[in-house]
Amino acid sequence: MLPLILLVSVIFMSFHSSVFAQDSPADDLLRKRARAIHEKVIALDTHIDFSPAHLTGEHNYTERLDTQFNLPNMIDGGLAGLFFSIFVPQTRESQNAEAFAAAGYERAYKLAVEKFDAVQRFAREIAPDKIEPALNSTDAHRIHARGKKFALMGVENGYPIGDDIARVKEFYERGARYLSLTHNGHNQLADSHTGERDGWKWNGLSPFGKQVVAEMNRLGIMVDVSHTSKEAMMQIAGLSKAPIIASHSAARALCDVSRNMDDEQLLALKKTGGVIQVVAYDGFVKTSKPDSSERAAALAAARKDFNLPETVGLGQRARFQAGVKKLSAKQRAEYEKKLGAIDKQHPGDAPANLKDFVDHIDYAVKLLGIDHVGISSDFDGGGGVVGWNDASETFNVTLELVRRGYAEEQIEKLWGGNLLRVMDEVQRIAREMQK
């Protein structure tokens, strides 16, 4: 989901072919090799946000909505499976005095259940011919072999658990296969990364948070450390009896924001046997300087001239992307020409692009080894870099990996093999603990 402080750069105005052409075009042989690999591997994205209406409404993900993720985009991009994010935003006491009382917890719980139910209804009733729910790697491989997409679920923010540990088991039974303890803001389980700005509540995990980690181990839910504070993450790494994951984070050495993980954290994650799913969220991939007022005004005028929406705000990036795709070839050429003139007259930072994103994958692989790195998008939670702006462009990631010399076996691990292996191990350990 979106970071606490939304990056207001209008970099997505730069979606045009000259920006995407990061270097000389790949020759036919390279592209054919990448295409063959992409069609063989199981490409799994571990973090996609959604609104229940996009799953169960009259117009839903069976159509090409103005969203970064939908089934047509998924099919076009060769994305095999995904984790739908059961996301509930963090309510703070400054917003609601009952945030950490029964009423606040109940409200969050109902929102989470609505999302669980929407995923199940979509996969079982609305589009069962195209997508099926999965609970483990065996399901994922079986569904993929049948030519359909598979959907898993992960809970982003443990806040809806409230103070009732029985809800951890309930969420597991509803299909949750990972759970991140926090989002943006401290809760009853742990400190959030936002404490670097706001100060700390627990100095890591709360006593109840430690119980929840143990219960997740017992049940077979992957503990997700994206969004937690460093201290909470390090405590989780020390306490967890099973591998842990970061479902959508990047390398802090390359982009110094609190949502990313530094080398000490990454090595601690590796020690558990876990995996970081490197996220293609522009603000976590590259730290860009804000546009000048002149550049911002010129880009706003260009958007207006071509009837394109704003690029700031949840969902706006996807609508902007869809609007650009709907331009005719003539309009696209005119738009690109205008953007080129703006770039020349009012230069700004280049947008985060696919090469910047894969730099984070390279960094993590060199530090941790190929077995501890994966891929995520954060689509429709603000995710997207130039070149992988929506699910239809998923092949571009494989193409860039091939361009950099990754072999098929390595790409298979990055695109889902590592995450599915970790999920299997977490579930194996749970079975042993339950004995």
Q: What is the DSSP string of 339-387?
A: HHHHHHHS--PPPPBHHHHHHHHHHHHHHH-GGGEEEE--BTTT-BBBT
* 3 inside domain: no
State the pLDDT at residue 315.
Answer: 60
State the pLDDT at residue 314.
Answer: 56
Q: Give CA separation, 36 vs 33, 39, 145, 395, in Å.
A: 5, 5, 16, 11
Domain-ending residue, one of 325, 349, 373: 349
Distance between CA atoms of 244 and 367, rounded to whole angstroms? 17
* 154 inside domain: yes
Torsion region of 348: left, alpha or beta (phi above 0 gives left; psi -120 to 50 gives alpha): beta
Domain co-membership, 255 together with 162: yes
Domain co-membership, 163 together with 148: yes
133 is written with which tokens? Answer: 């729910």
Distance between CA atoms of 420 and 125, rounded to whole angstroms? 26
Domain co-membership, 297 together with 161: no
Tell me phi and psi for residue 224, to 5 degrees. Answer: -100, 125
* 330 inside domain: yes
* 103 inside domain: yes
* 6 inside domain: no
Residue corresponding to tokens 């259940």: 113
Residue 430 has pLDDT above 70, yes or no: yes
Q: Which of 247, 293, 289, 290 is nearest to 269 (CA)?
A: 247
* 7 inside domain: no
Domain-ending residue, one of 323, 349, 375: 349
Residue 63's pLDDT band (cuts 50, 70, 90):
very high
The domain that holds 66 is classified in CATH as: 3.20.20.140
* 8 inside domain: no
Q: Which position has the higher pLDDT, 196 or 14?
A: 196
Residue 34 has pLDDT above 70, yes or no: yes
Domain co-membership, 298 together with 168: no
Domain-ending residue, one of 306, 326, 349: 349
- Domain hosting 330: range is 289-349
Residue 399 has pLDDT above 50, yes or no: yes
Domain co-membership, 334 together with 269: no
* 406 inside domain: yes
220 is written with which tokens? Answer: 């077979």
Strands 275-279 and 176-180: unpaired
**Run of H or E including 150:** strand 149-156
State the pLDDT at residue 22.
Answer: 44
20 is written with which tokens? Answer: 């995407």
Angle in degrees, CA 163, 216, 276, rounded to 5? 115
State the pLDDT at residue 16.
Answer: 40
C-alpha count within 13 angstroms, C-beta hemisphere, residue 143: 25
Domain co-membership, 102 together with 191: yes
The count of other CB atoms within 10 Å of the CB of residue 328 is 8
How many independent structural domains does the chain possess? 2
Any bridge partners for residue 276, and if so which? 246, 373
Give the tens place of pLDDT for each residue, 257-311.
Answer: 999 999 999 999 999 999 999 999 999 999 888 888 998 899 889 998 998 887 7
* Segment among 78-82, 215-219, 325-329 with least mean pLDDT: 325-329
Domain co-membership, 343 together with 213: no
Maximum average pLDDT range among 7-11, 306-310, 363-367, 385-389: 363-367
Could you give the 3-state DSSP secondary structure of residue 160?
helix
Domain co-membership, 176 together with 325: no
**Run of H or E including 156:** strand 149-156
340 is written with which tokens? Answer: 């080129």
State the pLDDT at residue 239.
Answer: 98
Domain co-membership, 382 together with 240: yes
Domain co-membership, 85 together with 162: yes
Domain co-membership, 294 together with 386: no
Residue 391 has pLDDT above 70, yes or no: yes
State the pLDDT at residue 350.
Answer: 84
What residues contact 303, with CB distance under 8 A and at least 6 apart?
13, 309, 310, 311, 320
Domain co-membership, 338 together with 364: no
Give the tens place of pLDDT for each residue, 170-180.
Answer: 999 999 999 99
